[in-house]
């Protein structure tokens, strides 16, 4: 009989040492996936280096643009997502920034950010039907019917605030312009078309758009999971610091009782490079 004990021995080489393939540290030398970190500085962007760290290679220009856009799309969603409120409630107790960020990251639970992975599986299920000979429209119709019958929400569709998610629209537009559209985007478009016919017609959300783009550029579900955490940390950090700076300690934070008092809408400067 196999017991719990067996699982605890790590696979190792003859030398009995464990292995890491991410970053090599030697005196005066730091290699990330083989590239000297000081050479990466100035040659790649932070977003490209994140891709390199997660996937092992420098991204192509098209993937690089989509990667930056996906990281940006999740960077913040205002003061009231539960993960942000966890960070702000931690900040109001006088806890240091890193404790607030950790509390925020812990709020990336099953119902918050977890939709990307389920949408990737959802799209793959549709694409299997296509591979078996169905058209995209037939596959989409069957998928939507299945979820409607089970009274389950469609992964990647619907949003608390937005009836048309501007981030999803932009990501699809970029994939089109960069000629990076593939079968996953085609699949989610087909589902969107079917959904639009229904009485309730929830829009594609940013989780759905990211799931489709990740599928088409070859990011596996676990990399998408990492992407969500990495991308939201700056927002959590900025929110916790604003709480520290603008509010008095130990306040009761009511998520409905606030106003935005930042700059009015303005245009992003043209790309300068």
Kindly state the number of chain residues that form the binding site for a second copy, as judged by CB under 8 A: 165
Distances in whole angstroms, Cα of residue 200 to Cα of each of 78, 154, 196, 205: 26, 12, 8, 15
Q: What token pair was written down for 1?
A: 């009989």
Smallest separation, CB 131 to a second copy (Å): 26
Task: Give the CA dihedral 53, 209, 128, 112, nearest 10 degrees.
Answer: 80
Of residues 131 and 153, the one with the C-beta less far from a second copy: 153
If the CB atoms of residues 14 and 133 are measured against a second copy, the closer one turns out to be: 14
Report if residue 218 touches a second copy, rule: CB under 8 A: no
22 lies in the site for a second copy, by CB under 8 A: yes
Residue of 14, 132, 133, 264 that binds a second copy (CB under 8 A) = 264
Q: Which CB contacts under 8 angstroms, 24+ apart, belong to 253-258? A: 253/85, 253/88, 253/89, 253/92, 255/79, 255/80, 255/85, 256/80, 258/79, 258/80
Question: Between residues 179 and 260, which has the closer beta carbon with respect to a second copy?
Answer: 260
CA 227 to chain centre: 4
User: Is the Cβ of residue 49 or residue 120 nearer to a second copy in the bound state?
Assistant: 49
How far is the C-alpha of 227 from the C-alpha of 237, rounded, in Å? 16
* Distance, CA of 81 to CA of 243 (rounded, Å): 15
> Looking at 58, 130, 142, 180, which residue binds a second copy (CB under 8 A)?
58
Q: Which of residues 85-104 bind a second copy (CB under 8 A)?
A: 85-87, 89-103
Which positions from 112 through 171 interact with a second copy, judged by CB under 8 A? 112, 114-115, 144, 147-148, 151-154, 157-167, 169-171
Beta carbon nearer to a second copy, 29 or 131: 29
Which residues 179-208 are close enough to bind a second copy by CB under 8 A?
195, 198-200, 202
């Amino acid at each position: 009989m196999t017991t719990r004990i067996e699982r605890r021995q790590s696979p190792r080489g003859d030398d009995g040492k464990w292995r890491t393939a991410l970053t090599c540290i030697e005196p005066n030398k730091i290699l990330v996936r083989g590239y000297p970190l000081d050479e990466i500085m100035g040659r790649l962007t932070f977003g490209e280096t994140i891709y390199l760290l997660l996937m092992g290679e420098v991204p192509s220009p098209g993937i690089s643009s989509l990667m930056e856009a996906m990281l940006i799309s999740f960077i913040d969603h205002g003061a009231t997502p539960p993960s942000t409120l966890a960070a702000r409630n931690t900040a109001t107790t006088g806890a240091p920034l890193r404790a607030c960020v950790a509390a925020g990251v812990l709020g990336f639970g099953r119902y918050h950010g977890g939709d990307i992975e389920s949408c990737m599986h959802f799209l793959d299920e549709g694409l299997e039907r296509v591979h078996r000979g169905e058209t995209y429209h037939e596959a989409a119709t069957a998928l939507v019917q299945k979820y409607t019958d089970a009274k389950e929400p469609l992964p990647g569709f619907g949003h608390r605030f937005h009836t048309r998610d501007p981030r999803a629209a932009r990501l699809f537009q970029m994939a089109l312009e960069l000629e990076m559209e593939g079968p996953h985007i085609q699949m989610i478009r087909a589902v969107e078309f079917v959904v639009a016919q229904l009485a309730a017609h929830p829009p594609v959300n940013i989780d759905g758009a990211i799931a489709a783009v990740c599928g088409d550029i070859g990011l596996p579900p676990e990399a998408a999971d990492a992407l969500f955490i990495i991308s939201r940390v700056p927002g959590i950090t900025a929110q916790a610091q604003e709480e520290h700076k603008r509010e008095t300690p130990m306040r009761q934070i009511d998520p409905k009782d606030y106003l935005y008092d930042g700059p009015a809408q303005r245009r992003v400067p043209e790309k300068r490079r």
